[in-house]
Structure 1
Amino acid sequence: MEKTPPYPAPQQGYQAPVSQGYPQPPQQQGYPQPPQQQGYPHPQQQGYPQQGAPPPYNQPAQQQNSGSTTVVVNSPQTVFGAPSLREASVRCICPHCRADIMTSTTYTTGNLAWLAFIFMFIFGFWLCCFIPFCLDGCKDVVHNCPNCGGVVGRYNRM
């Protein structure tokens, strides 16, 4: 027994009927080029580099401004900001002496040590309540500059 489909086979140039009432756009072989906007010249006509090409490094860029030429040169910039400080020493630029340094760290008593002390004292661990003041894991870390001794930053445990 041979089954025949309930619809006719598609033919060349046949467009399937639309059930929602929206017309189908005509099929094209390629994508059309967008129209050129009026008033703006094509970038390649102005001497700009082609799309996808890397920008020139440290090349002077010329800009015309009412008959005079302005030369802009790209230069690397150094950001003077606090690095993300943790327990270990970090390499950064000292905000005081502007030297490229590896910070030295010291431990100071902070909020976490005092909170652990109070918690242990309240719950009856009177003999053990002074232990947080001896552990570096409960103290804050202060980062100092080894050249000038200035404080670069502080890592608070809490």
Structure 2
Amino acid sequence: MSEEQPPSQDAPPPYTGGYPPAQAEYPPPQAGYPPPQAAGYPPPQAAGYPPPQAAGYPPPQAPPPAQQAQNTTVVVQQPQAAVITKGVHFGPSPMSYNCHICHTQQVTRVDYQSGLLTCLIVLVIFLLGFVCCLFWPFCCVPLCISGTKDVYHTCPNCNNQVGVHKRLG
């Protein structure tokens, strides 16, 4: 009752044991490929690349001539904050002072600026000028007198403020 069926066309041939049949050699190299190298010789180098180095030595580290290092000096200046010295009494006139910023012995330069005393004198003269009707034109006179203004001492070498003499306050 069992009938043997003929082998189908798609099925592989039955295994008979042993090694597979020998295959053809590798195909010949195509044109454009380099020929095979003989044993013991290094591969050829393409144009533009340095020759290979011996094992154990690092390659030379010279920069290309177009990118030579340039010496560049960068100067960064930061504004210095005004430091008022507490132990020294600054008066209304220039004085000899050892600058704590530039460390030189200099005579200070003085600048006069209107302060609290100047404003009070202007206000008093202005108010009395309306009461007496005679003094109000003179209310701007204290703005022209350096004896009523505050004195700011600066170092002439480094131009930093080293002290202040307040007339009032």
TM-score bracket, shorter-length normalisation: 0.3 to 0.5
Q: Give the structure-2-normalised TM-score.
A: 0.44
Rg (Cα) greater in structure = 2
Greater RCO (Cα-Cα under 8 Å, separation 6 or more): 2
Instruction: Give the number of the structure whose residues are more often strand, by fraction.
Output: 1
